[in-house]
Every structure is written in structure tokens, then in C-alpha cells.
């Protein structure tokens, strides 16, 4: 076997360096910066995090827990925030629910789900007036402490359709 020429050896070293760089970009954590021949580069995980942040989390929707709804609760339902599941614990006899940042661009639909947990039991909710319900009435919520209702709200032409996905869920079961 003949020995490699200087030129061949240099090409092999370049290929090995490129393979190591590719390996580092794919396998290093999001906070790592990989030095490449053309300058610093983020890792694949960092790029995925950037895309998720730029799209408002739409690729991987987020959950928001609200441990105490109080007498009034304003949910930030902006589609750009990427929160599509609100886990709300009711702790007052009456809670007035409202939606903040509820406008959705024309031609688009946004939906989110709310789990209403009965923290103290027999808590009632007043829903926003622009929510349209089947049979023109909001659902009767579970009233026993430790029970939950799951509701989905869908924006259609800047009005909201409200649907009860189920009632009397055991809150000891994670969402």
C-alpha cells in the first residue's frame, strides 16, 4: 500500500473535521456553539428551539397551569403565545372568564382547550358573551371538589365556538 500524498492527507483531515463538525451540530446541547470553517454555528437543538419560539410554539403547543382562578380570570389566548391548554383551578364560588388577545387573522382558525378543576367544589363560571354554545347555552359544570370539565374554544370570524369535551374527570389524573 502506498502512502498518502500531502494533498490526500489534507483532504482526509478536512473530511474528518467536517464529520466532527456535523456530529457536534447534531449532538451537542442547545446552549453550545459549534465552530465551523465559516464561523460559529448553533446546534440543531438550538435551531429547533428558535423555530419553535418564532412560530409561537405552534409546532409544540404549550400548557399553562393556573392554580387559583379567583373571582375573575383573563386568559391570554393569543395564537402567537402558543398556549393551547389552560389547566385552571376554580377556587371561588363565581369566576368571570374573559379572553385577552383573542383576535385571529382573517382566514385562520385558532383553538385552545381549558380544563376547569373544581378546587373547592360548586364553583360557577361566567363565560365571555361572544362564545356560542351548542343549544345556545353553556355547559353545566361538574360541582364536586376534585372533578373537572374539559372545554374547547375555537375562533371562527373572531367569534368563539365553545364545546364541552367532557365532564366529571378525576383531577388526580394528569392532563
Among candidates 155, 152, 156, which has minimal Cα distance to 164? 152
- For every residue of 59-77, DSSP letters joined together read TS-EEEEES---SEEEEE-
C-alpha cell read off for 120: 373547592
Other C-beta atoms lying within 10 Å of the C-beta of residue 63: 12
Helices (H) and strands (E) in the chain, counts: 2, 11
The predicted-structure confidence for 8-23, as pLDDT tens digits, reads as follows 888 888 889 888 988 9
Q: Mapping DSSP to helix (H, G, I), strand (E, B) and coil, where does residue 46 land?
A: helix
The predicted-structure confidence for 44-88, as pLDDT tens digits, reads as follows 888 887 776 666 555 567 899 999 999 999 999 988 777 899 999
- Taken in order of first residue, the domains within the chain and their CATH numbers are 6-54 (no CATH), 62-170 (2.60.120)
The predicted-structure confidence for 134-172, as pLDDT tens digits, reads as follows 999 999 999 999 999 999 999 987 789 999 999 999 988
Among candidates 21, 51, 53, which has minimal Cα distance to 35? 21
For the full predicted model, state whether its pTM sits above 0.75. no
Amino acid at each position: 500500500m502506498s502512502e498518502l500524498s500531502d494533498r490526500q492527507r489534507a483532504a482526509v483531515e478536512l473530511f474528518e473535521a467536517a464529520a466532527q463538525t456535523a456530529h457536534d451540530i447534531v449532538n451537542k446541547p442547545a446552549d453550545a456553539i459549534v465552530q465551523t470553517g465559516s464561523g460559529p454555528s448553533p446546534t440543531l437543538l438550538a435551531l429547533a428551539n428558535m423555530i419553535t419560539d418564532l412560530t409561537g410554539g405552534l409546532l409544540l403547543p404549550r400548557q399553562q397551569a393556573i392554580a387559583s382562578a379567583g373571582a375573575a380570570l383573563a386568559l391570554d389566548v393569543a395564537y402567537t403565545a402558543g398556549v393551547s391548554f389552560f389547566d385552571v383551578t376554580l377556587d371561588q364560588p363565581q369566576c368571570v372568564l374573559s379572553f385577552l388577545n383573542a383576535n385571529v387573522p382573517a382566514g385562520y382558525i385558532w383553538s385552545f382547550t381549558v380544563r376547569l378543576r373544581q378546587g373547592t367544589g360548586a364553583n360557577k363560571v361566567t363565560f365571555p358573551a361572544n362564545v356560542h354554545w351548542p343549544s345556545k347555552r353553556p355547559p353545566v359544570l361538574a360541582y364536586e371538589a376534585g372533578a373537572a370539565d374539559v372545554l374547547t374554544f375555537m375562533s371562527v370570524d373572531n367569534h368563539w365556538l365553545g364545546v364541552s369535551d367532557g365532564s366529571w374527570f378525576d383531577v388526580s389524573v394528569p392532563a
